[in-house]
Chains A and B, each alone.
Chain A
Amino acid sequence: MRALIVDDSAVMRKVIERALSQAGLELTEVLQASNGEEGLQALRQSASAPVSLIMSDINMPVMDGLQFVETLRKENLAVGVPVVMITTENNETFVLRAIAAGAQSYICKPFTAEQVKARVLPLLRVA
């Protein structure tokens, strides 16, 4: 499966990729973006080979994760693809906005690979 990871930290993108592999996902390709705008570009350019999962930070420069998810929905990009927000922002306002914007789940940093597995695998079974 192909996944898109959106986070302004290259280290965190690697950590998330590693956690997804440890969760048992067979990742054939991982697209990476350092902000929401790059994430949208990556999805537009990969329309012929769509991703099956999107993991996104919230707090990023240029375009934050909430705007990213809201734009996904407006542009009908990645329809039906589960979106999981991974972020240090755990206050209720951000959680509710992320869900309202179209994210399916939410993981707080710091996280374990087991937590990623528990949140992501059920979404992939449903998708």
Chain B
Amino acid sequence: MHSEAVTRLDSAVSEVFETMLERSCNPMEGEVDTVEGRIVARIQFTGAVDGECLLYASPATASVTAEALLGTPSEPCDPMVADAVGELCNMIAGGWKSKLASHESSCLISVPAVTREGLEGYQPRFGTKFSRNYSFQGNVFGVVLAF
């Protein structure tokens, strides 16, 4: 079950990056630093699957992501940058959910909640949790799925 969830996640991330950002994005090994200041977006699932998806990135990576989406540069402190991280999390979570078996995919997803407080102290409330890191053009971000 774990490897299927990872495969679905990798596929969802790849689709979002190749379709919306026109860039390839690949899983990478190793840890992504979760120090303070990381922009973190959280989406919650409720229904057939209860859980959450978090996406976290440095302000610099988030800024590059916003630029790729919008076609114009943004300063890391720009509210649009946090919005871009939230929207990325939204599309990845939605894409992952759409790949679930039909009886599992009938769950609602929340609007994204975005903070700039990093992931320190994050404790998932769900039994299964896995983290995955991704890299696009040398920029790294992490995704946590818990359900």
Contacts and interface: CB of A to CB of B under 8 A. Distances in A.
B111 interface: yes
A14 B97 CA distance: 25
A9 to B, nearest CB: 5
Interface stretch (B3-11, B14-22, B120-128): B14-22
A8 B87 CA distance: 10
Contacts of B91: 88, 109-110
Contacts of A59: 90, 109-111
Interface string A49-79: 0000000000111000000000000000000
B95 A9 contact: no
Nearest to B15: A110
Contacts of A11: 66, 69-70, 80, 83-84, 87
Interface stretch (A37-45, A89-97, A98-106): A89-97
B94 A109 contact: yes
A111 B87 contact: no
Contact of A91 (B79, B80, B98): B98
A59 to B, nearest CB: 6
Chain B interface bracket (under 10, 10 to 19, 20 to 34, 35 or more): 20 to 34
Given A11-B66, A60-B111, A91-B105, A112 B83 contact: no
B111 A61 contact: yes
B90 A9 contact: yes
A14 B111 contact: no
Contacts of A93: 106
- Shortest 9 CB-CB contacts between residues of A and residues of B: A88-B94, A110-B19, A110-B20, A11-B83, A110-B16, A9-B87, A11-B84, A109-B91, A11-B87
Interface of A: 8-12, 14-15, 18, 59-61, 87-91, 93, 108-112
10 contacts: A9-B90, A11-B83, A15-B70, A87-B94, A88-B94, A89-B94, A89-B109, A90-B98, A91-B105, A109-B90
